[in-house]
Amino acid sequence: MNFSRTILVAAFLFLAVTALPAPAAAQATNCASSQKAAVQCFVANAVATDLTKPRYGMTLAQFEAYGVAVSNILQTHHTYLVLVGTSSAIADALPPTNANGSANQAAQDLAVTQIVSAAVTDKLANTSSASLQDLEWFSLDVTSAMNDNEGTMAMLTPGVSLRIIDSYVVSGTTGGTVNWPAVDASLSSAIDNFIASGMMKVPSDMTAPELKSFAMTLARIISGYKVATGRATL
């Protein structure tokens, strides 16, 4: 079994066991006719045996289609690495809680979908094999699973890049008001310096302005998340 197929099976098992039980559902047929059919059968069997359930308001057929989309995402290599990396950073730096410790899943979910959309807009990820909605659902699933990490994220700190961007937002804030032109200028200068020093490399299918645009969008998403959760910093 090659690497992508191993990741596919592991990912479905990983996402399946994090969901709540569901009623039995009809099993797909002709499971060996194609990779698509195999994935559809896997999802149908997972639902029928109470390993997982359709979510985000999906019917079983839509959930099977989402399973096929996840299979496609995992075979894109670049896009799925961006999404998994982004999800780990969000789980670390943008937890589903308010500053006082109370739950606020909506704030994290909004940040996830906004960041994935920005990644597609600025060419860090693409929708050639799955729709933006599927990319967002996949990232929501992965981030949700990573939220329960027993302190591992605090040790690995995958959210350090988001915290660095936040430091520019904090520096550009006076009296609760963010000076966005100043923040954007600082981020642009920092990225230029990182690229010039070799500390950052622009992906081959992306330009430096697109990378800066992504960073500036992240800054605004982080700011919105902090307002929603009552945080002064990440």
Residue that wins the pLDDT comparison between 155 and 88: 88
Q: Return the pLDDT at 127.
A: 95
Q: Return the pLDDT at 12.
A: 56
Torsion of CA 136, 137, 138, 141, to 10 degrees: 120
Q: Are residues 63 and 176 in the same domain?
A: no
What phi, psi does 130 have (nearest 5°)? Answer: -155, 150
Residue ending a domain, choose from 46, 74, 102: 74
Q: Return the pLDDT at 135.
A: 97
Q: Return the pLDDT at 22.
A: 38
Q: Return the pLDDT at 11.
A: 58
Best mean pLDDT range from 20-29, 38-47, 111-120? 111-120
CA separation for the pair 8, 98 (Å, rounded): 33
Least confident piece of the model among 21-25, 61-65, 129-133: 21-25
Residues of the domain holding 54: 3-74
Residue ending a domain, choose from 74, 99, 119: 74
Q: Where does the pLDDT of residue 75 fall: very low under 50, low under 70, confident under 90, or very high at 90 and above?
A: confident
- Among 84, 125, 115, 137, residue whose Cα is nearest residue 218: 115
Does any domain span residue 134? no
CB 212 within 8 A of CB 165: no
Average pLDDT over the chain, rounded to whole?
87
Q: Are residues 57 and 163 in the same domain?
A: no
Q: Is the pLDDT of residue 221 over 90?
A: yes
Residue ending a domain, choose from 28, 43, 74: 74
Q: Are residues 125 and 176 in the same domain?
A: yes
Q: Are residues 47 and 107 in the same domain?
A: no
Mean pLDDT across 109-117? 98
- Among 73, 179, 190, 168, residue whose Cα is nearest residue 125: 73
Q: Where does the pLDDT of residue 4 fall: very low under 50, low under 70, confident under 90, or very high at 90 and above?
A: very low
Q: Are residues 56 and 154 in the same domain?
A: no
In percent, the amount of the chain with pLDDT more than 90 equals: 68
Residue that wins the pLDDT comparison between 73 and 7: 73
Does any domain span residue 185? yes
Does any domain span residue 184? yes
Q: Return the pLDDT at 1.
A: 41
| The token pair that represents 138 in the structure block | 């996949």
Q: Are residues 145 and 176 in the same domain?
A: yes
Q: Are residues 97 and 159 in the same domain?
A: yes
Q: Are residues 176 and 86 in the same domain?
A: yes
Q: Are residues 59 and 166 in the same domain?
A: no
Render pLDDT for 169-197 as a digit per residue (tens, 0 to 9).
999 999 999 999 999 999 999 999 999 99
Does any domain span residue 88? yes
Q: Are residues 113 and 161 in the same domain?
A: yes
Which of helix, strand or coil describes residue 174? strand
Q: Are residues 155 and 217 in the same domain?
A: yes
Tokens 């430096």 belong to which residue?
208
Question: pTM of this prediction?
Answer: 0.84
The number of folded domains in the chain is: 2
Q: Return the pLDDT at 52.
A: 87
Q: Are residues 19 and 89 in the same domain?
A: no
Does any domain span residue 38? yes
